[in-house]
Amino acid sequence: MMLRVRSRDGLERVSIDSPQITVSQLKTLIQSQLQIPVQNQTLSTNQNLLLAKTPADLIKFTDMSNPSTLLSALNLSHGSIVFLTYDGERTVSGPTFHPAGSFGRKMTMDDLIAKQMRVTRQENPHCELVSFDRDCANGFQHYVNDTLAFAVKRAGFMYGTVSDEGKVEVDFIYEPPQLGTEENLAILRNPDEEKFVEAIAVGLGMTKVGFIFTQTISQDKKDYTLSNREVLQAAEFHAESGLKEWVTAVVKLEVNEEGAADVHFEAFQMSDTCIRLFKEGWFETEIAQDADPKLSKMKKDVVVGVKDTREVDNDFFLVVVKIFDHQGPLTSTFPVENRNTPVTMRALKNHLDRTKSLPFVKRISDFHLLFLLARFLDLSSDVPALAECVQRQTAVPEGYQLLIESLASS
């Protein structure tokens, strides 16, 4: 059987006989197969190990500190990921020699450029952390879990704020029109809808900060963190944003210690090299049906480690981001746009009736409700003004109240 080992060098594979071996035996196998001395290794099933900076940080990861612990006791099986950090440098084999110049193949300008395009693992993200509003995150994961059962892919754009220190807070998720299958996700972007969203975000003092998508149950059986199609899509939206703190979040099912399935969030940034390669057109965007999903293909050779290659392990493009949660300024109880059931004025009436006891500004403090109202209001003045009332939690002018109640009764 095989375990995946993720370190600062990317994703590698270690062959083991069975999950009945101990942590100590696994370290010995890592030493023999990956040339990392046992005494230099720290292992964990927690991806945050890769963010540890000091010895004091490392000792917090205790799940694999006992050398006698069996891998089976840690729920590790074929294809599971173990995270590894180590002291020192790797011993790697030398490069294959390709003669050039007057004694062999002539170097072209493309060859010279490729020699300078090195793909290495980026250690630190540009954003300090990403924090999800609990209601907003729960609303998204409940839909993909309870309604879609993680059978098809689903996505949304995350909106919120970015602090001077690089802390990203996500306060609402806009779900655009889309078509998801088990393996693919097509975002059917609607410019008019996106204008509504941007106008609301401006009034709320927020901006687009990231992209969130799900992986399906069938993908959980595959040997990758992000597929090549997912890397391309994530890189496209990251590059388009121009925001260095842009976050890509993944939601998927993972089996817990009791054998039940838990919804799991992971957050990444696409590396600077990945975004540069995407912007400069290095990626092969036509992906063959039989292509290995864990590898991204380049149009020209790049240097990975000591090798020239046109296939890059997707993990080289991912930078892990710490995840927190918070209670943001908005609620997330109003029906969400572009899902299976269209949102009608009946939903608005039901929502207002249900929240009668609250101040009017509290009753409309929900992005998805504001999104519905935006279709009937002036985009340049009314929408930002109403959203600003929500941001400041100030009284909603009587004219807007009457208009909203009239729409609810129509």
> Which has the closest alpha carbon to 128: 319, 272, 275?
319
Predicted confidence at residue 70, as pLDDT, reads: 93
CB-based contacts of 165: which residues, under 8 Å, 6+ apart? 128
pTM of the model: 0.74
d(CA 385, CA 404): 14
In terms of C-beta distances under 8 Å and separation of at least 24 residues, what long-range contacts does 63-71 make, across chains too?
64/23, 66/23, 67/22, 67/23, 67/24, 67/27, 68/22, 68/23, 68/24, 69/22, 69/23, 70/19, 70/20, 70/21, 70/22, 71/3, 71/16, 71/19, 71/20, 71/21, 71/22, 71/23, 71/26
Predicted confidence at residue 115, as pLDDT, reads: 55
> Which has the closest alpha carbon to 244: 202, 212, 274?
274
Question: How large is the angle between the packed helices 345-354 and 398-409, nearest 10 degrees?
Answer: 120
Q: Which spans in 205-289 are helix H?
A: 228-241, 272-279
**pLDDT digits 0-9 by tens, 212-269:** 999 998 876 778 999 999 999 999 999 999 999 999 999 998 877 777 788 999 999 9
Residues 155/185, Cβ–Cβ less than 8 Å: yes
Helix H or strand E segment including 298? strand 295-304
DSSP class of 309: E
Please identify every stretch of the chain with a pLDDT value under 50, giving residue numbers as ranges.
93-104
DSSP string, 152-184: S--EEEEEEEE-TT-EEEEEEEE--SEEE-SS-
d(CA 348, CA 391): 20
Let me know if 105 is exposed, middle or buried by CB neighbors in 10 A (0-12, 13-18, 19+): exposed
Show the tokens assigned to 380.
Answer: 């340049």
Predicted confidence at residue 250, as pLDDT, reads: 97
> Which has the closest alpha carbon to 235: 184, 304, 190, 283?
283
Predicted confidence at residue 339, as pLDDT, reads: 95
CB-side neighbour CA atoms (13 Å) of 204: 26
d(CA 318, CA 81): 15
For the chain, domains (ranges, CATH) are 2-86 (3.10.20.90), 118-326 (3.40.140.10), 345-409 (no CATH)
Predicted confidence at residue 88, as pLDDT, reads: 84
Let me know if 231 is exposed, middle or buried by CB neighbors in 10 A (0-12, 13-18, 19+): buried
DSSP class of 125: -
d(CA 80, CA 225): 11
CB-side neighbour CA atoms (13 Å) of 245: 22
Cα first-last separation, the chain: 63
Residues 136/243, Cβ–Cβ less than 8 Å: no
Predicted confidence at residue 109, as pLDDT, reads: 57
DSSP string, 33-100: HH---GGGEEEES-GGGGG--SHHHHTT--TT--TT-BGGGGT--TT-EEEEEESS----PPPPP--B
CA distances to 43, 50, 231 from 4, rounded to whole Å, are: 12, 15, 19
Residues 160/170, Cβ–Cβ less than 8 Å: yes
The CA-based diameter of the chain, rounded to the nearest angstrom, is: 85
Residues 386/203, Cβ–Cβ less than 8 Å: yes
Show the tokens assigned to 229.
Answer: 């199609």
Strands 261-270 and 247-255: antiparallel
